[in-house]
Structure 1
């Protein structure tokens, strides 16, 4: 079915791409003989072709079904149940498991016991007493002790002596910095913070008095004027607009403008059609 749909789509696309003159432009003495020739030769050939292709497709589908369900599936079942699974069972139970048992019990465990009980303890004792202990002694007496002596003699003692020598001067410098910081803090507090606080407090009191006695009354007066002058005037203008201008505009729009526009549109349409 998919091949039929593909063939039909290809034929339709080829028909759209190929330019054909309309039948009205082809003379009758050419068109009718061409149709007769097509009916006599092309249609039987096309019918035979369709019959052969559909028969071949049906035979192919039948052979495919026979190959799958009568050959492949039975052969697969025979292979799995009569050859593969028996061979696998034989390989596992008669070859692999015995070889594994022989390897574990006759090779691996005896070799492991010999290694743990006969080879590893002497090798361990030899490594500890003949290699580890002498190597540790050499590292301690030839590396750690000289390095420690050099660090104590050439680094720690000079730094300790320098710290003792510099400590009084460092203490004096730190105390001087502390006294300077205290003096600067006292000076800033007395000369800047307190006068600034006093000035800010005076300014805040003045601004508060000015706000309460000047800005608030003016704002209340403006609000009273707005409420008693602007709002009534706006309401009057809105009332006049809604009762005079709006009815006039609706009358002009509905009773004058729309009829004139409709008449003009009908006249232009009549002139255009004419």
Structure 2
């Protein structure tokens, strides 16, 4: 996109942002002198500015082309073909491949054979047959079986016999506790909850009667006073405002401020080159 297209797009954006009123609303004694001033002073300066900007743009494009095609592309080709690819080939085929072969054939395979065929079988036999199996027999016969015998014979069996012996007493105690709680609940309901409910119902009826015969008339009186005092006063203020302040504001906006703003906007557009 050249400078003319950019200038046209910018002017269209300005026109969309600030819509222009018809020219008949702007006084001619302001519009024509502004255009004459723009023609005498602004047009030569703008012409010189356009020449300078186009020359600078051409010089910048030439320098950019020279930098890309005469410096960057040759330098990139020399780096890739004379330095990077040879170094990469040397590192992969001369250094890395021999080192990898040496590691796989002279270090890894002998170490793997030493571990699997020489060290692991005797270590496994020692760990399983000489240590694991005797230790397992000792733990089972000297720890687990005695602890199980003690738990079953000395703890579980006496507790089971005691539970069977105390079962009738426990049932009687639980039944007594249940009967006690049931009696306490019946007494609480008869002596406390029902009288309290009756008192609360009486209080609720009294509060409802007081609300209906005192608060409701008070609220209605306040509403009547608001409707017959505040509302007429507000309507009067609104009528006075609409017949005094609003006409003055419309006159100042439509007959004074808007022509001045339109003339100022037209002068600025003329100075920009319209």
User: Shorter chain as normaliser: what TM range?
Assistant: 0.3 to 0.5
Give the TM-score of the pair, scaled to structure 2.
0.46
Higher-Rg structure is 1
Give the TM-score of the pair, scaled to structure 1.
0.46
